[in-house]
Structure formats: C-alpha cells, structure tokens
Amino acid sequence: MNIVLSDEALKWFRDEMEVSQGDAIRFFARYGGSSPLHEGFSLGVTKIEPDEASVQVDKEGVLYYIESRDEWFFDGHDLIVEVDPKLQELSYSYKKS
C-alpha cells in the first residue's frame, strides 16, 4: 500500500492547509459519506502528528501518512491524491496494490 500525491495536490496542501516542512498530514477513515471502497465511510484529512503510522511518504519535508488503525479502509489499495481541476478540491482514487 502506497500514498501517491500529484504535484497539484502538494501545492493544494501548501495553499489550503498551510503545510510546511516538518508538518504531518493524516489520511483517515471517517464515518459518513461514501467512497468507492466502502459505503457509509469516506476519507478524511487532518494536520496532526502520527501515533502509529503504518504507511507514510515524505514529500518536501512533509509527512503524509495512514495510521495502522485505518488500514482496513484502504483494503490493500494505494491511495492516489490529486486535485479536481473544476472544483479545485482534493480528489481521491484507489488502485489495487
């Protein structure tokens, strides 16, 4: 399982969440909404230090990660983070590892 971030997504995090070197961004399962992987759950994102990261990638000095307790949500898929060009918001897709 991997986290893949487009250049546009990295810029979005800098501009919209004001991330800078040394920050940490967590992707997590949240109750509500839907995703291609699970009805009734969607993907959340927050700026917080890791507790027990199981998947992580460092980009430009920022740690992007998934906690071990949220691995079930990804069901063995890579997380691909991009920006929707029309909405200018993050978009997520999943690719079987």
Q: Quick: pLDDT tens for 47-85.
A: 999 999 999 999 999 999 999 999 988 888 999 999 999
- Per-residue confidence (pLDDT) for residue 7, from 0 to 100: 97
Structural domains in the chain plus CATH codes: 3-96 (2.60.300.12)
Q: Quick: pLDDT tens for 5-44.
A: 999 999 999 999 999 999 999 999 887 766 766 666 789 9
Long-range interactions of 71-75: CB distance < 8 A, separation 24+? 71/1, 72/29, 73/28, 73/29, 73/35, 73/37, 73/38, 73/41, 73/43, 74/1, 74/37, 75/37, 75/38
